[in-house]
C-alpha cells in the first residue's frame, strides 16, 4: 500500500467537499510565477544541515544522527501555546542536539523505553515546561518500546526493512508506532495526513544528502507535511481562502477542536495546494518535489511569522 498516495487521494477527497477552505487559483498562479522568478535569480531553500540548531553527522556519525532525527520528529509538534518562555522548533532541535552531544547513548531505544518524566524535564529540557510534556515523555517511551520489541532495539533496522523506499518506510512507521498514525474522519471517510512520519523521511533525505540512511529511490512520493505554518503563509498570500466563520475563529486565535471539519479542511487543502503548486512550477521548468515546496513555504512563513495573519490553533500531538 502506498500511504503517500493515500495522503494525496484522501486530502483531495476532503478538498472537493470542503465547506470552509478554498484555493484561489489566480493567486496560486501568481505565486508560482513569483517563485519561478526567484528560482531563476538563484533562490535556494535552506538545507537541514545548514541550521545550527541541528545535530550533524560530523558531530556523532550516521547512527547518532538517525537517533537524533527519530526523536526530533517524534516530538516535532505543538509549539504554539503561549507561555512565559516561548519555545519554537529551533529550541527543541537545539535542546535535543545538546542532549545527545552530552550523552551519546541518550536516544538509544533501550534507554528511551524506560525514560522518566524527571529526566526529560530536568536533564533534556533543562527545567523548561515544554508544551504537552507528559505526552512527549509518553511518546519517547513508546518509540523506545516498539523499537526494542519489533526492530531489535535499533532504528537502523527500520531503515533496512524499508529497502531504500520512502513508501515502505512510511508504511512501517505508521503501522508500528501509534504516535505516527496521523489520521482523521471526514464525512465517514478516513483521511490520512502522516505529517511527522513523512517529515522524518524528508529530514533523513536532507540531512544525509540522499546517501546512507537518507537514500531513497522514491523520495518524490512523499507529500508536504500539513502543519500550521504552511497554511498560514498560504493564507497570508491569499491562496488559501477561509469561510467567514473560520476566518474569524483564526483571527481571534480561538482553539479549534482536534478532528473538526475546520482543522481537517485546512490540512487537506494545504496538501492539495502544494500538489498544485508543484505542478505549476513543473510547467515553468522546475523539477521540484512536494517536500521541497513545503520547505520553501515553511521557511518563508517562519521568516515573517510575527508579522502575518495568525495560524490556526489545534492542540495535537500530530503537528
- Residue 24, domain member (yes or no): yes
**Are 95 and 125 within 8 A, CB to CB?**
yes
78 lies in a domain?
Answer: yes
The pLDDT, as a whole number, for residue 85 is 67
Catalytic residue among 203, 227, 261, 294: 227
**Does the structure show a pLDDT above 70 at 230?**
yes
If you count DSSP H runs as helices and E runs as strands, how many of each does the chain have, helices first? 15, 4
SS3 15: helix
- Is residue 150 included in any domain, yes or no? yes
| pLDDT the model gives residue 140 | 99
Q: Name the DSSP class of 190.
A: E
In a domain, residue 215? The reply is yes
Identify the DSSP state of 212.
Answer: G
Q: What's the residue count for the chain?
A: 319
Q: Please give the grid coordinates belonging to residue 204.
A: 533523513
C-alpha cell at 169: 518506510
Measured CA to CA in angstroms, residue 27 lies from 12, 24, 33, 218, 254 at distances of: 19, 6, 10, 31, 27
Q: Over 90: is that where the pLDDT of 131 sits? A: no
| Cβ–Cβ under 8 Å, residues 157 and 151 | yes
The pLDDT of residue 82: 65
Residue 208 confidence (pLDDT) = 98
Residue 253 counted as domain residue: yes
**Exposure string over 213-251, b if 16+ CB within 10 A, otherwise e:** bbebeebebbbbbbbbbbbbbbbbbebbbbeeebeebbe
Residue 169 scores a pLDDT above 70: yes
In a domain, 319, yes or no: no
Q: What is the pLDDT of residue 231?
A: 98
pLDDT mean over 251-259: 97
List pLDDT tens digits, range 83-112. Answer: 556 788 999 999 999 999 999 999 999 999
Give 4's contacts (C-beta < 8 A, 6+ positions apart). 166, 167, 170, 198, 221, 222, 223
For the chain, the domain total comes to 1
Q: List pLDDT tens digits, range 105-128.
A: 999 999 999 999 999 999 999 898
Confirm whether 257 is domain-assigned: yes
Report yes or no on 38 lying in a domain: yes
pLDDT for residue 31 is more than 80: yes
pLDDT in tens, 273-316: 999 999 999 999 999 999 999 999 999 999 998 899 999 999 99
Q: Is the pLDDT of residue 18 over 90?
A: yes
Where in the sequence is the domain holding 219, given as residue range(s)?
A: 3-303
103 is catalytic: no
CB distance 75 to 319 below 8 Å: no
Amino acid at each position: 500500500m502506498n500511504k503517500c498516495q493515500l495522503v494525496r487521494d484522501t486530502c483531495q477527497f476532503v478538498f472537493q467537499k470542503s465547506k470552509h477552505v478554498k484555493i484561489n487559483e489566480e493567486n496560486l498562479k501568481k505565486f508560482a510565477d513569483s517563485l519561478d522568478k526567484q528560482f531563476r535569480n538563484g533562490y535556494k531553500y535552506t538545507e537541514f544541515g545548514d541550521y545550527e540548531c541541528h545535530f550533524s553527522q560530523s558531530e556523532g556519525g550516521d547512527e547518532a544522527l538517525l537517533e537524533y532525527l527519530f526523536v526530533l520528529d517524534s516530538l516535532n509538534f505543538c509549539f504554539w501555546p503561549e507561555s512565559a518562555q516561548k519555545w519554537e522548533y529551533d529550541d527543541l532541535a537545539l535542546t535535543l542536539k545538546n542532549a545527545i552531544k552530552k550523552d551519546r547513548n541518550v536516544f538509544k531505544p533501550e534507554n528511551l523505553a524506560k525514560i522518566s518524566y524527571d529526566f526529560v524535564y530536568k536533564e533534556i529540557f533543562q527545567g523548561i515546561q515544554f508544551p504537552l510534556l507528559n505526552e512527549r515523555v509518553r511518546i519517547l517511551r513508546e518509540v523506545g518500546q516498539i523499537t526494542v520489541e519489533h526492530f531489535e532495539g535499533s532504528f537502523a533496522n527500520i531503515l533496512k526493512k524499508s529497502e531504500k523506499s520512502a513508501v515502505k518506510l512510511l508504511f512501517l512507521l505508521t503501522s508500528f508506532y501509534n504516535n505516527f498514525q496521523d489520521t482523521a474522519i471526514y464525512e465517514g471517510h478516513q483521511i490520512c495526513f502522516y505529517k511527522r512520519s513523512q517529515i522524518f523521511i524528508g529530514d533523513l533525505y536532507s540531512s544525509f544528502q540522499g546517501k546512507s540512511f537518507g537514500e531513497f529511490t522514491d523520495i518524490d512520493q512523499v507529500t508536504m507535511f500539513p502543519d500550521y505554518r504552511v497554511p498560514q503563509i498560504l493564507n497570508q498570500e491569499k491562496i488559501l481562502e477561509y469561510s467567514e466563520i473560520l476566518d474569524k475563529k483564526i483571527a481571534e486565535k480561538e482553539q479549534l477542536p482536534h478532528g473538526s471539519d475546520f482543522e481537517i479542511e485546512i490540512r487537506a487543502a494545504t496538501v492539495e495546494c502544494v500538489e498544485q503548486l508543484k505542478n505549476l512550477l513543473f510547467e515553468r521548468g522546475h523539477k521540484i518535489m512536494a517536500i521541497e515546496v513545503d520547505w520553501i513555504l515553511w521557511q518563508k512563513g517562519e521568516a515573517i511569522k510575527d508579522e502575518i495573519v495568525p495560524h490556526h490553533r489545534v492542540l495535537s500531538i500530530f503537528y
